[in-house]
Structure formats: structure tokens, C-alpha cells
Structure 1
Amino acid sequence: MSGVVGAVLQVIVIAVGSPLLVGVMRQVRARLEGRAGAGIAQPWRDLRKLMRKEAIAPHGTGWVFRAAPPLLAGTALVVAAVVPLVTTASPLDGVADLFAVTALLALGSVALALAALDTGTAFGGMGASREMTVLALVEPTILVSIFALSIRVGSTSLGSIVTATVEDPLSVISPVSVLAAVALAIVTIAETGRIPVDNPSTHLELTMIHEAMVLEYAGPDLALIEWASAMRLSVLLGLLASLFFPLGISGASTGALALLVSVIALVVKVTLMGALLAAGEVFMAKLRLFRVPELLAGSFLLALLAVAASFFLA
């Protein structure tokens, strides 16, 4: 029963807290840039405003354009339910496989890219092409970096990997974990469209990737996309924290107090990582588009080195 409650709690925390995480990151950037900022709750106010507007679609678009926002949000919610963020005893642990989670993340990205192509605009096609280039390098790196951690466990289940780390915390102090952590951190930045790979606050046609794909969306559809993007950021940061710093994650036989502590630990870890990411963006410039594959290829090489080290150091 505690596993069911924990799974429900982590979905609620991700769904409700993800826009607030974006607000925290914007506020951190604003303070470091000498601005007052709009407040932590501003993303929720933006979503509420978008939900009240009329849903419109460009002429000539079909069901692909309309299906992308709910599919993107749905996959983000499913990933939030199966990834071990609060508890490792979730009833969905059987489907919390490394390959299944990566495929769900890729499904949302592909759906949004197809919707951008469905609009028939130059910016949509450009953004979709760039997104697929990034995706082709990001998804293999996620698979290989987490696979390096699964070798010592003997399972690709994320719950099993996190459980093994909870039982042996010193296992993260190894070359395998360091290499995998750096690789996964880089692809997390790329997957969520942050600097130096992409700038979430830009509307420069020559540099944007994610924003180019959603230019034709408005109203509730745009609200779903923004909400889903925030949830994907929270889930990936939470997964990074669970794999390499699983402090506070509850197990099978835990009570209500332990689950509450786990939720607080998740909120603190993800907020700190988000604030650190936002602070780094202030002092970092966006890479030129043709340099992004070099960065992602480097992260893939680190993931391969982590796999090789896991066999040599086993």
C-alpha cells in the first residue's frame, strides 16, 4: 500500500511542482542578472491564462497537430509515475525499465516534431530537424549511461538500480558513477532544452530548437506543452538525483512519515539542482548550433567509457 501511495505522491508532486520549479529557476536567473523577477508562481499564472484562451489550429493541419500536446503531457505523467523518485516499491516498478522510460521520453519528442512538420511552416520544419538531431544523440546516451549503472545490479529496472544504491551508498563513489553522472547531466540539459544546447527564453529563429516547434500553438494546447516541458525537466532532474544521490527515497515497508520525508527530500534535491542549473545558465553562453552535436557526442563517449569501466572494475 505504501508503494501505491508513494507513486501517487510523486505524480502529484511532479504535476503541481514542475511549474514552480521553472519559476524558481527564472527567479534565480533574474536575481543574478540584477532584476526583480516575476515571482515563483508566475508559470502557473501563465498556464491559467493560456487555459482560458481559445484553442486554434493552423489551416491544413490534421490530427497529428492536435494529438501532440496531450501525448507529450501524457508521456511525461507516465514517466513521473514509473520512475523511482519518492519510493522504490511502486506497483509500476515492473514497467519502470530503462528502455521503456527512454522510449516514452522519445515518444513525446517525436510527437512534437511530427506536429511541427504538420504545420508546413519553415520554422516548424527547422525546429523538428534540429530536435531529431539532438534526440538521435540524447536517447542513446541516456540508455548507455544508465546501463553502466545497471551492470553491477544485473537488471535494467530503475527501481532495482536505485535500491542497490540506497543499500550501498558508497557505490556512487567510483569512476563508473562519475562518468555516467556527467554524461547524464549533459543529456538532461539537452533533453530539456536548456543553455548551452538551447535557450528556453529566446525567439531568435536562427538559434531556437524547441520554441520553433511550438510557434503555431496557442491557448490550452500551448499550456499543455509548457506544462509537459516543465514536468520532463523535473522528472529528469529527479532521476539524476535518485540514481546518484538517493538520500530520502523510501523502500517497501515504510509508513506515512517516511513517505513525507521522501517527498520533502525530492523537492529539496530537485529545487537545488534546478537553481544550480539556472545559476550556471547566467554565466554560460549558448553554443553555436553546429557545436551542439560535438558536446552530445562527447557525453556519449563518456557513457561508453562508463560501461567499459563497469566491466573492468566489476
Structure 2
Amino acid sequence: MEQLTSILTGIGYAFSIMAAAPLVTGIVKATKAGLQNRRGPGILQAYYDLFKLLRKDSVVSPTTSWIFTLAPYIYFAGAFGAAALLVSGNLFMLIYFLAAGRFFLALASLDAGSAFGGMGGSREMFINVLVEPVLLLVMLTVAVRAGSTDLAAMMGAAAANPLSLPYIFAAIAFLIILVAESGRIPVDNPDTHLELTMIHEGMVLEYSGRWLGLIFWASAIKQLVFILLFTTLFVPWQPAELSPAVAGLWGAGKILVTALVLAAIETSTNKMRLFKVPGFMGAAGMLALLALVAQ
């Protein structure tokens, strides 16, 4: 009975993340436009875009196979599953869910036979090879302190000692991972359509309609999942004895601040050349390794 309650709680939490994810994306875009002194989209524009895409049919190339058809659903299911695991799931299961979605989306980019799709897929997997080891090192910093890879136990251990030196190193490394995983400058540019710079956009050029809407929605969910991991594991400060409603508002405030930080990073930096990304992720890896050794 307790396990069933935990599963239902996780599913309900995932639905709430699914509903809020486009809003976070809209806040990042609107903030970035304001920092660049231009009139950008409203914070609800992502909902309008999703509604428009989900109502449209998809145009499919005759050269594609079942992989191209199923990839958007697997990508969305992986992001949804990762969101459900945030309540009381296992760290490695969460990473596996996200990795499975990324793998099938990269495979679908090759399935269409497009040159841009293959280029985007190869670049995505290149960055993934750099990001995942660093992500594991950062998360193991908290897991070692907690003595468990259960996310609930890790969050409890982080809240008990949030200002230690290993956590500060790990927080900086995870912020770099957050930028890379959400496909933002300086690693990627979510707004570009230039063949020399696009990574994630290159993989989804052949998609349209509701399939494209599912991919965009899943990307927003994945971004919010990483923001929640950052705020709960590395910025867990919270005043004592808060009511559930006030605690929820406090958590939403931390998410909002993190979204504003992402927008500020995008505005203040330039797109990095692809061959410089290994050095960027290497710096994050060294910080993660220092955090793990300093335990």
C-alpha cells in the first residue's frame, strides 16, 4: 500500500511539473528579451505554441521507419518518468530515463536521412558523452554524504549541511551541467536555425505538428527537472517551520531565481565553439571531482 501511494504521489508530481514546465521556459525567454533590451514573447507564449503544435498533424518523410514515429513519445515518456522519480526514485533510474529519451531522439535524427539531422544527432551525443560522467560525479557527491542513491535521502542529506565546501564545488559544476542539458548558451542556442551552430534544433528539423510539440514539451520538462534537482540538492536553504503552502511558494521562488540566472548566463555569454565544449565540461568535471574527494 505504501509503495502504491509513493507511485501515485510521483505521478501526480510529474503531472504538476508537466503543467509548469512551459511557464519556466516562458520566464527564461521573456527575461532574456528584457535583458537584451527588446520586446520578446510573453511568459505564456510557450503554452500557446504547444497548443498550436499539438492540434496539427505531422508531415512524415517516406524514408523514415518506426523509430522516427516512436521517438517523440519515448522522449516525452523519459522526461515524464524522470519527473515522477524526483519524489522518491533512484538516482540512476532518473539518469537512465533521460538517457533513453536522448538516445532515441538522436537515432530518429539519423532515420530521416537528413544531413542536418545527422549533424545534430552526432553533436548531441558528443556533448552527452562529456556531460553524463560529470553529472554522475556531481550527484555522487551528494549520494556519498547520504549513503544512498535514493533521491529523497539525498535531498535530506543536502538540507542537513548545505554550506559545506564540497556542496559549493558541486553546485557550480551542476549549474554548468544545467546550462548544457537545457541546450542553452554557451553550449547550445535554443533559438538558432543556423546549420553551423544548431545541435538540438538539428535533430528535430524533420519533425512537425504534434510530434514536434511533444519534443518541445519534453525538453521543457527535462529543463525543469534539472532546475528542481539544482534547487533541492544544492540550494536547499529553507526557513524552519514553514507551512506547506509557504514552503511551496519558497520552492517556486528558488525555481524562479534559477530561471533568471539561466537567462542572465545566456545574455552575458556568447555561443561557444564546439571544440571548446570539452574544456568547459572538463572544468565542471574537475570541480565535481574536487567535491567528491573533499567529502
Tell me the TM-score range normalised by the shorter chain.
Answer: over 0.9
Indicate the residue corresponding to 1:184 in structure 2.
174
Report what 2:52 is aligned to: 49
The question of 1:160 aligning with 2:153 is answered yes
Q: Identify if the C-alpha distance between structure 1 residues 5 and 67 changes in structure 2 by more than 3 Å, giving closer, same or farther.
A: closer
CA distance in structure 1 between the aligned counterparts of 2:248 and 2:73, rounded to whole angstroms: 26
2:214 maps to 1:218? no
Return the match for 1:17 from 15, 20, 23: 20
Give the total of aligned pairs. Answer: 292
Where do residues 132-171 of structure 1 align in structure 2 (5 Å cutoff)? 132-166=125-159, 168=160, 171=161
CA contact (8 A) 2:14 2:83 kept: yes
**What is the match of residue 276 of structure 2?**
291
| Cα displacement (A) at 1:5 | 7.2
Q: CA deviation at 1:18?
A: 0.7
Paired letter, 2:257: L
Cα distance in 1 between the residues matched to 2:239 and 2:199: 35
Q: Which residue of 1 aligns with 2:72?
A: 69
Taking the aligned partners of 2:292 and 2:27, their CA distance within structure 1 comes to 35
What 5-or-longer segments of structure 2 have no aligned partner?
none
The answer to which of 259-268 and 150-159 deviates more is 259-268
Q: Could you tell me how far apart the structure 1 residues matched to 2:212 and 2:85 are?
A: 25
> Could you tell me how far apart the structure 2 residues matched to 1:293 and 1:59 are?
37
Write the letter of the residue equivalent to 1:295: F
1:89 maps to: none
1:227 to 217, 222, 226: 217
Instruction: State the identity %.
Output: 41
Matched, 1:102 2:105: no
Whether the aligned pair in 1 keeps the contact of 2:142 and 2:157 (CA below 8 Å) is no
Cα distance in 1 for partners of 2:33, 2:14 equals 29
Residue number among 257, 263, 269 corresponding to 2:248 in the alignment: 263
After TM superposition, list the pairs within 5 Å mapping 1:82-93 onto structure 2: 82-84=85-87, 93=88
Q: Who is 1:130 aligned against?
A: 123
Q: CA deviation at 1:104?
A: 1.2
The amino acid across from 1:34 in the alignment is N
1:308 corresponds in structure 2 to 293
Residue 242, structure 1, aligned to residue 232, structure 2? yes
- Check the 8 A contact 1:10/1:263 in 2, yes or no: no
Gaps of 5+ in 1: 85-92
Structure 1 position 277, deviation (Å): 0.8
Contact kept, 8 Å, 2:91 with 2:150, in 1: the verdict is: yes
Residue identity matched to 2:180: A
Letter in structure 2 aligned against 1:135? N
Distance between the aligned counterparts of 1:224 and 1:102, measured in 2?
A: 20
Conserved in 2, the CA contact under 8 Å of 1:9 and 1:263? Answer: no
d(CA) in 1 for partners of 2:95, 2:7:
23
The CA distance in 1 between the partners of 2:35 and 2:9, in whole Å, is 36
The two structures have a TM-score, normalised by structure 2, of 0.93
**CA drift at 1:260:** 3.4
Does the aligned pair in 2 maintain the 1:6–1:259 contact within 8 Å?
Answer: no
Per-residue CA deviations over 1:34-70 (Å, capped at 9, x if unaligned) read 2222211101101111112111211210111111111
The reply to whether residue 119 of structure 1 matches residue 104 of structure 2 is no
TM-score norm. by structure 1 comes to 0.88
1:184, CA displacement in angstroms?
1.1
Root-mean-square deviation (Å):
2.1
- The Cα shift of 1:262 comes to 4.0
